[in-house]
A and B are shown apart, each in its own frame.
Chain A
């Protein structure tokens, strides 16, 4: 059994950095703990659930997908190399790791996205078994668990009353990481601490079924009233993956960019002629719930939600998709009686 003292996460980060990994880890930043690129001297705080998901390290907010040199009215393509550094993500939450598996499907279901695949291949996800959860966590309602291993290449688990970590490799990438970290790992025994307890808040199957019959529902109108129409929930979500493609440039160079985008923003579906198929926030909330709990299931055979709860923690109006799902589930049960 490979053991690491609880306060030695920075040592693990340092040894991995020395072995050529870009290390991403939860670090404190003002009032938040954020997943960020670790630099020597930074403390690692694996306690709170990070405000941002791991998504941005595999699917950046903004990425150059094509590049052109410009010369008057003519242009010529230039290389736009994919940035896919060898990366170790420490203490990624199981909900985030599972989300990457959902995104694998999106980026490969027909056309294969080289950038996503290259970064995925270059990234080793070291999941942290959640020792605590908060009232927005709902992984157990969407098929996950605080100690789930889906998508993880290695697992960190608190042990001996949070005084140690047990580090376990789950595959080749994990084994390579453990080998690189051998210098800071000790062989020994430790008793794993129990994982957090996350109550099941709703039956996701019931939500999927309900969505199939309730494209028109007063629920959407009510949600649409409170929703402010920002992109906070989608950008915090580890599974939301919608993007925009925009060109920008100077007189001598143009870049084609892939930027995060979201169905919550009014312009997302706006036609240039003015027609908008989703004209209000009610239609956009419906799309959010339907996509995560029905359309994604139909298309890819799983939910597009891993229960991390970030959308609710960060929503300026404190709307929570888990509560929406719970109300749907309860309404369905009430109707069945």
Chain B
């Protein structure tokens, strides 16, 4: 049985048994892959899975329209499972039902603990792509002035459409800081000052949380290489705190917790 067929069978069973009222998976739209929302066991035939399925479907769990449907099951490659684990660690969800897929195999229906165990067992060493590592190394090798110019050029393109935020499962604030205007923390204009503030704040709010799923960069209509920022922060967190988010549903948030042996070298 192919992965797609296995997913359909499990989805139909979950829906028929009432364990899920809604299954979120992937469907084909021409050569593209779009999200599929299936609530009827008879409708599972649209579900497919292949290596073109890239969107992080965990993002839908924050939508009231989705949550109000009752228990939801999500077709989850490792990136989606890691997002769910972080959401659980941040008390955004208490349980999850996933149809766990890996690049190599289909792992069946799992709960949150099962997903976390699977991640640790089989997907503990998900490495960023060589291209991304190379691009970051190139950036690191730049002088501060060159790097500033690089980001100035990149951020200049930002239209403030907030697709990066919308695509990220971990950007779940009911009211984002860019939309708070008493006081106006961040300039609303899609121009240098506000764009820098927005981009830096977005990245910093992800520090120690981002699982490097790539949804934000894939969503950016302007082609801004957001993963360079995410990866830089992520490597810094790993170096400073030895933490890799998205594996332990009981993990304390890196930036929201304190340990006596945390590096305090920055305190002068």
Contacts and interface: CB of A to CB of B under 8 A. Distances in A.
A and B touch in their complex, CB below 8 angstroms: yes
Interface of A: 29-32, 34, 51-52, 61-62, 135, 221-222, 224-226, 228-232, 234-236, 244, 246, 248, 257, 259-260, 262, 265, 267, 280-282, 314, 316-320, 323
Q: Is the interface of A mostly helix, strand, loop or mixed?
A: mixed
Nearest to A135: B30
Contacts of A52: 221-222
10 cross-chain pairs, A with B, having the tightest CB-CB distances, nearest first: A231-B161, A316-B219, A230-B166, A230-B163, A228-B166, A314-B221, A61-B190, A62-B189, A232-B163, A318-B34
B32 interface: yes
Contacts of B60: 225
B59 interface: yes
B223 A31 contact: yes
B188 to A, nearest CB: 5
A231 B184 CA distance: 20
B167 A259 contact: no
Interface range on chain B (Cβ under 8 Å from partner): 35 or more
A235 B30 CA distance: 24
B163 A316 contact: yes
Interface stretch (B62-70, B245-253, B258-266): B62-70
A32 B162 CA distance: 19
Contacts of B159: 61, 231, 235, 260
Interface centre among B157, B166, B167 (most CB of A within 10 A): B166
A135 B165 CA distance: 27
Contact of A225 (B32, B65, B162, B221): B65
A37 to B, nearest CB: 11
Contact of B189 (A232, A257, A319): A257
B184 to A, nearest CB: 7
Interface centre among A29, A222, A225, A235 (most CB of B within 10 A): A225
B35 interface: yes
Given A51-B221, A62-B190, A228 B167 contact: yes
Given A225-B66, A248-B184, A231 B223 contact: no
A281 to B, nearest CB: 7
Interface of B: 29-35, 37, 55, 59-60, 63-66, 157, 159-163, 165-167, 179, 184, 187-191, 215, 218-219, 221-223, 225
Interface centre among B66, B163, B167, B225 (most CB of A within 10 A): B163
Contacts of B188: 244, 246, 248, 257, 259
A293 B70 CA distance: 34
A52 to B, nearest CB: 7
Nearest to B62: A228
B32 A228 contact: no
Contacts of B162: 230-231, 265
A316 B223 contact: no
20 contacts: A51-B221, A51-B223, A61-B160, A62-B191, A135-B30, A224-B65, A226-B35, A230-B166, A231-B159, A235-B159, A246-B188, A257-B188, A257-B189, A260-B159, A260-B160, A316-B55, A316-B163, A316-B167, A316-B218, A318-B34
Given A248-B187, A259-B188, A314-B221, 6 more contacts: A34-B157, A225-B60, A231-B159, A260-B160, A267-B179, A318-B32
B266 to A, nearest CB: 31
